[in-house]
């Protein structure tokens, strides 16, 4: 019995030595034959293809041979170098409603010093206004988009602007009063708190509040409907109207695109301001028969 077991172990050892020898011969043959195609992956998946560098287009080789310089990409902040976002105002509908999608940007063209009011989708020359938010605007020149942040202004309460915007981004102050600074022929930067303080003065003095509204007399069209309000500065609060840029006889037609055809609309506008929903106020005025826009940036 012990002899049979010993013979069995000997036979198993010989078989293992034979398999090892065959495996060594197989590996030696593969090494000499060189690389072969990898077998297909289980499940029928194709083996990974050998990596090859992509062929360059003939036009590229022609440009390299000619020595023509490649076109430089547009510089970052190029639109910020052309335009400055001075303010954003909420356009009010004739029904007395304003929405987050009804904002309009107040943009300054740096080279010409011109002012533009543009809503989403509108064009300023070759520039399209893509989106207008409370504190920034997105512009597009057709090739790319760029975001411009709201400029700080002369009161310095808000900051923004692109990193490569011109250093002299702050406009010149032409005049200063209790509400803020005049920074253009028909543009002001006003402190919201200063305006609210004046509003509180009116609320605490009913007679002054009454004279403030009485100074605006209805201006009627040919059908007798109210088409605006004509300013009679002799009726009261002359100092206030003068400091905010009005003149005797001015006719207010619109405020933030809403036609001023009733006192209710004026009251609605005041409520929007008190609730801090108006970052800027644009008043359409008729002065000596000519249209004029008075712009107030609220900081």
User: What structural domains and CATH numbers belong to the chain?
Assistant: 78-149 (2.30.30), 175-298 (2.30.42.10)
Sequence-ordered strand ranges (E) for 205-275: 216-220, 226-231, 251-255, 258-259
> If you count them, how many residues does the chain have?
299
Contacting residues for 159 by C-beta, under 8 A, at least 6 apart:
149, 152
Sequence-ordered strand ranges (E) for the chain: 83-92, 98-109, 114-119, 123-124, 127-132, 136-140, 145-149, 175-177, 180-184, 187-190, 216-220, 226-231, 251-255, 258-259, 280-287, 290-298
The per-residue pLDDT string of the chain (299 residues; one tens digit each, 9 = 90 and over) reads: 444 545 555 555 555 555 555 555 555 555 555 555 545 555 555 555 565 555 555 655 555 555 555 555 445 568 999 999 999 998 887 654 544 458 999 999 999 989 999 999 999 999 999 999 989 999 999 999 999 999 988 886 544 444 445 545 788 999 999 999 999 999 999 999 999 999 999 999 999 989 988 999 999 999 999 999 999 999 989 999 999 999 999 999 999 999 999 888 888 888 888 888 888 999 999 999 999 999 999 98
- The string of DSSP codes covering 179-197 is TEEEEETTEEEE-HHHHHH
Model pLDDT, residue 60: 52
Return the SS3 of 231: strand
SS (H, E, C) 127-145: EEEEEECCCEEEEECCCCE
Model pLDDT, residue 215: 94
């Amino acid at each position: 019995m012990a002899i049979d077991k010993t013979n069995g172990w000997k036979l198993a050892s010989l078989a293992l030595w034979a398999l090892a020898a065959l495996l060594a011969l197989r590996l030696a043959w593969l090494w000499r034959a060189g690389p072969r195609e990898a077998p297909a992956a289980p499940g029928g998946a194709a083996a990974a293809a050998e990596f090859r560098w992509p062929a360059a287009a003939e036009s590229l080789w022609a440009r390299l041979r000619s020595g023509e310089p490649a076109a430089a990409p547009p510089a970052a902040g190029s639109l910020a170098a052309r335009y400055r976002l001075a303010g954003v105002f909420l356009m009010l509908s004739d029904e007395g409603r304003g929405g987050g999608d009804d904002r309009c940007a107040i943009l300054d063209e740096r080279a010409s010093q011109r002012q533009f009011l543009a809503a989403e989708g509108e064009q300023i020359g070759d520039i399209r206004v893509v989106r207008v938010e409370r504190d920034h605007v997105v512009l597009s020149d057709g090739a790319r988009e760029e975001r411009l942040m709201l400029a700080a202004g002369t009161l310095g309460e808000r900051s923004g602007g692109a990193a490569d915007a011109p250093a002299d981004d702050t406009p010149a102050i032409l005049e200063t009063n209790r509400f803020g600074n005049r920074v253009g022929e028909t543009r002001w930067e006003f402190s919201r708190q200063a305006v609210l303080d004046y509003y509180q003065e009116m609320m605490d003095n009913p007679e002054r509040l009454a004279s403030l509204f009485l100074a605006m007399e209805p201006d009627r069209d040919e059908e007798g409907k109210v088409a605006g309000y004509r300013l009679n500065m002799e009726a009261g609060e002359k100092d206030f109207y003068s400091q905010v840029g009005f003149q005797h006889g001015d006719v207010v037609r619109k405020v933030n695109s809403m036609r001023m055809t009733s006192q209710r609309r004026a009251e609605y506008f005041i409520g929007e301001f008190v609730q801090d929903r108006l970052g800027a106020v644009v008043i359409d005025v008729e002065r000596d028969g000519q249209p004029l826009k008075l712009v107030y940036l609220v900081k």
